[in-house]
């Protein structure tokens, strides 16, 4: 059983499971963030953020999420380094298929996404959890962190909006290969299922990327 953590196949399986967990998280995160543009007030966003920060089950899932991200990142780096050492020099100038083109730059897009995530956590998560530099607002006699105003203030800064859009485009690049690759690593490689998974991955990537890009653009020009 312990071989799953050290074998080549085991590393890919663990990285894939962690990656698919992050895929689900992105949908939840997007749904909450979209309330900022589809609601007349920040109340739904702030209440959802409060629930995510205080609910015991969600807090446990949050720990699992961070662990999953670290696992995904560590195994990704290990596998990439192993591939670099294993790849003969004669293959360096070979033509790449559409899929392998995305695969070739997975480690680079992952690095950019990691930098973006650290900045994102510093701006919002650590501000609320550690530093406490968050305005407070009252709904129905109860006090909440006004994280919504932090998001809006950030997305009124032009360079920050451009930076976010660029990072989510890199995320889309990463997802286009990663979504299908995760299922392949789990053994779901079939003449019927593989095309379905590929199309699902494309639709997921387009929807998630467009959603996250829409939010800063809408806030910058409309709020």
- The dihedral built from the CA positions of residue 119, 143, 57 and 186, taken in this order, carries a sign that is negative
Phi, psi of 43 (to 5 degrees): -60, -50
Sketch out the chain's domains with CATH numbers.
Answer: 2-87+96-222 (1.20.1300.10)
Residue pair 45/39 in contact by the 8 Å Cβ criterion: yes
pLDDT tens-digit series, residues 46-87: 999 889 888 888 778 777 777 766 776 776 677 667 666 666
Tell me the residue length of the chain: 223
Is the pLDDT at 96 greater than 50? The verdict is no
Q: Could you give the angle at the alpha carbon of 151 between the alpha carbons of 146 and 154, nearest 5°?
A: 130
Query: Which are the contacts of 97, defined by CB distance < 8 A and separation ≥ 6?
Result: none
pLDDT tens-digit series, residues 135-188: 899 999 999 999 999 999 999 999 999 999 999 998 898 888 777 777 776 676
pLDDT, residue 7, reads: 57
Residue pair 191/35 in contact by the 8 Å Cβ criterion: no
């Amino acid at each position: 059983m312990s071989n799953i953590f050290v074998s080549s196949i085991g590393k890919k399986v663990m990285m894939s499971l962690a990656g698919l967990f992050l895929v689900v998280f992105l949908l939840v995160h997007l749904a909450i963030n979209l309330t900022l543009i589809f609601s007349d007030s920040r109340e739904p966003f702030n209440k959802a953020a409060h629930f995510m920060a205080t609910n015991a089950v969600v807090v446990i899932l949050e720990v699992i999420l961070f662990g999953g991200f670290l696992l995904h990142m560590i195994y990704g780096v290990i596998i990439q380094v192993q591939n670099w050492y294993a790849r003969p020099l004669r293959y360096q100038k070979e033509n790449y298929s559409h899929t392998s083109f995305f695969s070739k730059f997975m480690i680079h897009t992952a690095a950019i996404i990691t930098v973006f995530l650290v900045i994102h956590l510093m701006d919002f998560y650590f501000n609320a959890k550690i530093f406490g530099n968050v305005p407070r607002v009252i709904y129905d006699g109860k006090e909440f962190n006004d994280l919504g105003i932090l998001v809006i203030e950030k997305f009124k800064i032009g360079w920050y909006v451009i930076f976010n859009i660029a990072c989510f485009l890199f995320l889309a690049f990463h997802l286009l290969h990663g979504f299908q690759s995760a299922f392949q690593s789990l053994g779901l490689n079939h003449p019927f299922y593989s095309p379905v998974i590929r199309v699902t991955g494309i639709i997921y990537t387009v929807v998630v990327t467009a959603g996250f890009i829409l939010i800063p653009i809408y806030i910058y020009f409309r709020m």
